[in-house]
Amino acid sequence: MKIYLAGPDVFLPNPLEIAAKKKAICTKYGFIGVFPMDTQLDFGGLTLYQKGMLIYRSDKQLMDECDLIIANMTPFRGPSMDIGTGFELGYMAGQNKPLFAYSNDGRLYVKRVKQVTPGLDEDGMNIESFNCFDNLMIDGAICYSGGDLIVGNAPWGKYYTDLTIFEKVVKIAAGKLLKN
Amino acid sequence: MKIYLAGPDVFLPNPLEIAAKKKAICTKYGFIGVFPMDTQLDFGGLTLYQKGMLIYRSDKQLMDECDLIIANMTPFRGPSMDIGTGFELGYMAGQNKPLFAYSNDGRLYVKRVKQVTPGLDEDGMNIESFNCFDNLMIDGAICYSGGDLIVGNAPWGKYYTDLTIFEKVVKIAAGKLLKN
């Protein structure tokens, strides 16, 4: 079975390094890991926007070829996870594939949003308080897909790179989906 | 045709007020607008988490009943759009439904992320520079679904509530999808 390895990992200074580590862990548990940058793309002569569109189509195709997703839900540029990864969880959910996810931040969503007055943020918008680790659409989708969301707190300085919790999720996915 | 009206609108102090306004605009152009809070839910005896899961299932069912989505992509608690809305775009994309979206913030994504050193944010993570209005998975999905993304700058104080650009998108969707 192929796992789509979603996450803000693609924005790391050296994304192929973590890609290799994640794939090795997938292999260890009997899966094939697929990283969003796996397809060689020819950017020759393309504008920035056209390059972006080509990457979208490539990643969509990779998702279509995968049987499940393991998403890195570690908060990215705000209290929530990376929006591209959230889209990808939705895309796989729309195809009824199992969603697994992990976060290297063990705090509930409400603990990460700056509360100005009780229950409201600085824009006066309500803050979700359903004891979820992110927006309930994310936690709910994972729960009802038959997958799992595992969280913990990565060692200082390894917020985006520690793979301890990622490996736990791969092991859980193997127990649920692989027969051997 | 039914439009799923996704967005951080659900977090407004009075979400049903904007829901009614959006639905009226949908009706004006020949659509039926569906708001994520349309289903009456019985929260009696449920824990906070169980309430969240019930809302997820309800919204998933509403999305399954809708033919297209119009997402409010106005940035929410950071440089990107609301993560729940991003998930919902993905969910509809996974079912090959047309995606339409609008943002009341006309700046490109790169203009909204605080750049510490060129191309890098404060965590040393790369900043996408594909001339998209959010992560390329969002812009790409809308583009290739046959939908449209329209952006502009709402008047001061109406960042989450101005519906001028929303109405433009509904009109465009009607021109593309409704025959009359």
Beta-carbon contacts of B178 under 8 Å, excluding residues fewer than 6 positions away, are B1, B29, B30, B31
Residue A117, pLDDT score: 94
| Strands lying side by side in the sheet with B99-103 | B32-34, B2-6, B68-72, B99-103, B149-151
What is the pTM for the complete model shown? 0.98
Distance between the two ends of chain A, CA-based, in angstroms?
A: 13
User: Is a pLDDT exceeding 90 seen at residue A107?
Assistant: yes
Residue of A nearest to B161 (CA): A125
What number is the ipTM of this complex? Answer: 0.97
Residue of B nearest to A127 (CA): B11
β-bridge mates for residue A99, sequence order: A69
- The interaxial angle of helices B136-144 and A83-94, nearest 10 deg, is 40
Question: In chain A, what residues touch B8 (CB-CB under 8 Å)?
Answer: 125
Q: What is the DSSP letter of A118?
A: T
**Residue B24 in tokens:** 């009226």
User: Is a pLDDT exceeding 80 seen at residue A76?
Assistant: yes
- Domain of residue A72 covers 2-106+135-177
Under the banding of pLDDT at 50, 70 and 90, the label for residue A141 is: very high
Residue B43, pLDDT score: 96
Put residue B136 in one of left, alpha, beta given phi > 0 → left and psi -120 to 50 → alpha. alpha
Residue of A nearest to B86 (CA): A87
Distance from CA of A31 to the nearest CA of B (A): 23
Beta-carbon contacts of B88 under 8 Å, excluding residues fewer than 6 positions away, are A90, A137, B4, B6, B59, B63, B69, B71
Q: Average pLDDT for residues B25-48, to the nearest whole number?
A: 97
Q: Do A12 and B93 touch (CB under 8 A)?
A: no
Given A52, A79, A86, which is nearest B90 (Cβ)? A86
Residue of B nearest to A73 (CA): B83
Q: Do B131 and A86 touch (CB under 8 A)?
A: no
Under the banding of pLDDT at 50, 70 and 90, the label for residue A179 is: confident
Domain containing B167 — which CATH number? 3.40.50.450
Q: Is residue A171 part of a domain?
A: yes
Of the residues A18, A57, A68, A83, the best mutation for testing chain B's interface (the one with the most B CB atoms within 10 Å of its CB) is A83
Rg, Å, chain A Cα set: 17
Distance between the two ends of chain B, CA-based, in angstroms?
A: 13
Count of domains for chain A: 1
Percent of residues, chain A, with pLDDT higher than 70: 99
Q: Is residue A121 part of a domain?
A: no
Question: In chain B, what residues touch A132 (CB-CB under 8 Å)?
Answer: 49, 52
Q: Average pLDDT for residues B148-163, to the nearest whole number?
A: 97
Q: Are strands B68-72 and B2-6 parallel, antiparallel or unpaired?
A: parallel
Question: In chain B, what residues touch A121 (CB-CB under 8 Å)?
Answer: 77
Q: Is-contact B149 A67, C-beta < 8 A?
A: no
Q: Is-contact B4 B84, C-beta < 8 A?
A: no
Question: In chain A, what residues touch B59 (CB-CB under 8 Å)?
Answer: 137
- d(C-alpha A127, C-alpha A96), whole Å: 29
Per DSSP, helices labelled H in B33-82 are 48-65
Residue of B nearest to A51 (CA): B130
Of the residues B81, B83, B104, the best mutation for testing chain A's interface (the one with the most A CB atoms within 10 Å of its CB) is B83
CA angle B61, A148, B81 (to 5 degrees): 60
User: Is a pLDDT exceeding 80 seen at residue B180?
Assistant: no
Percent of residues, chain B, with pLDDT higher than 90: 99
* Single-letter amino acid code for the residue at B85: T
Of the residues A55, A66, A77, the best mutation for testing chain B's interface (the one with the most B CB atoms within 10 Å of its CB) is A77
Given B13, B125, B138, which is nearest A87 (Cβ)? B138
